Amino acid sequence: MRIAVVGATGMVGEVMLKVLAERNFPVTELIPVASERSVGKIIEFKGKSYPVVGMQTAVDMKADIALFSAGGETSLEWAPKFAAAGTTVIDNSSAWRMDPSKKLIVPEINASSLTKEDKIIANPNCSTIQMVLVLAPLHKKYNIKRVIVSTYQSITGTGVKAVEQLENEYAGVQGEMAYKYPIHRNAIPQCDSFEENGYTKEEMKLVRETQKILDDKTIAVTATAVRVPIVGGHSEAVNVEFSNDFVVSEIQNLLHHTDGVVVQDNNDTFTYPMPMYAQGKDDVFVGRIRRDESQANTLNMWIVADNLRKGAATNTIQIAEYLVASKLV
């Protein structure tokens, strides 16, 4: 199993390599791929050294699977070239997510839709993944009408430059800015650029991707995405209106038996999800599960996950694991 990691020297790429090793993915040959300025750099993986190669070299090496985390423009240009060479691409960028001919996959929800013909597979946005993993079983049982989500997103979603900005500000050092404003002791109500409707791209990803993954365009979703000075992961306050009524204990029990979800919900012991405890873990954590007393059939939840792992690297590798197990590559 020859595995290419495109964007191997980036923040998500590094986590991909870590997760591949941790999960003992059957890598017989690693092909680390990055931009020309990183070509020749040595990547260590499971006790072996691999030189970073450029894009065309990687295409010519005909990997079985290519895990992409190198941005949308790179993916639009190169993913079809890898696919034409027979490589199955799993892409982390937003490039292919809303393409009607491409599958948008969270393995626990819709991996069974994949076939050998799917040569470019889209990995959803990090904030979408953690939300839909919790919503999917609830939609199946109670039928979701509307979702209102407010996100509190880690600076790691922006990348290394943002982490350096926070560290510089914390230390009182003047440095390069990833954001238009200071992030230390601040909350910035803008993740990604603005669209014409006044929402950011990040907010609209939550709308469009949720409907596509749950295969239901009737679900109304509205979002506010906020960047906060946190490193461990993304947090979300989620309000869900159902067609059918529910019992809170039934919701808790249903989520307790959902793969990839961990319920942390005990007010007596002050147990609830927080990014500092989610960091480095692959699960999605949910708590503060309670009825919205202002409206019928409506629920409030607090959802937290490590955006670099389940929100990116781990979900990508879980897709690859499904492809291997199902003999689709």
Indicate if 104 and 139 belong to the same structural domain. Answer: no
At 146, is the pLDDT very low, low, confident or very high (cuts 50, 70, 90)? very high
Give the per-residue pLDDT at 106: 98
Full residue range of the structural domain in which residue 191 is found? 127-307
**Number of domains comprising the chain:** 2
The per-residue pLDDT for range 107-126, each reduced to its tens digit, is 999 999 999 999 999 999 99
One domain, residues 201 and 301: yes
Instruction: Give yes or no: residues 173 and 279 share one domain.
Output: yes
Residue 319's nearest CA partner among 20, 72, 52 is 20
Q: Give all strands of the β-sheet with 298-305 in edge-to-edge order.
A: 220-227, 144-153, 234-242, 298-305, 284-291, 261-263
Closest CA to 91 of 66, 114, 113: 66
Q: Which one from 139, 184, 191, 234 is the annotated catalytic residue?
A: 234
Q: What average pLDDT does this structure show over 23-27?
A: 96
- 182 in the same domain as 116: no
For the chain, the maximum distance between any two Cα atoms, rounded to a whole number of angstroms, is 60
| 52 has binding-site annotation | no
Other Cβ atoms within 10 Å of 3 Cβ, number: 24
In this prediction, residues 32-42 reach a mean pLDDT of 93
Predicted TM-score (pTM) of the model is: 0.96
Q: Please tell me whether residues 253 and 164 are part of one structural domain.
A: yes
- pLDDT tens per residue, range 197-233: 999 999 999 999 999 999 999 999 999 999 999 999 9
Q: Is 74 annotated as a binding residue?
A: no
Does residue 26 share a domain with residue 9?
yes
Quote the percentage of the chain above a pLDDT of 90.
98
Mean residue pLDDT of the chain comes to 97
Q: Are 96 and 213 in the same domain?
A: no
Q: Do 95 and 66 share a structural domain?
A: yes
Q: Is residue 233 part of an annotated ligand binding site?
A: no
Residue 276: give its domain's CATH number: 3.30.360.10
Residues 192 and 76 both lie in one domain:
no
Residue 245 CA to its chain's centroid (Å): 30
| Pick from 215, 201, 222, 233: nearest CA to 302 | 233
Is 234 assigned a catalytic role?
Answer: yes
Q: Is 113 annotated as a binding residue?
A: no
User: Rounded to 5 degrees, what are φ and ψ at 101?
Assistant: -90, 0
Q: Is the pLDDT higher at 102 or at 37? A: 102
Q: Is 97 annotated as a binding residue?
A: yes
Q: Which candidate, 273, 267, 233, places its Cα nearest to that of 255? A: 273
Q: Residue 256 catalytic?
A: no
Q: Residues 152, 245: one domain? A: yes
Whether 84 and 221 map to the same domain: the answer is: no
pLDDT tens, residue by residue, 165-184: 999 999 999 999 999 999 99
On whether both 138 and 12 belong to a single domain, the answer is: no
Burial 146-162 (b: 16+ CB within 10 A, else e): ebbbbbbbbbbbbeeeb
The verdict on whether residue 227 carries a ligand-binding annotation is yes
From first CA to last CA, the distance across the chain in angstroms is 9
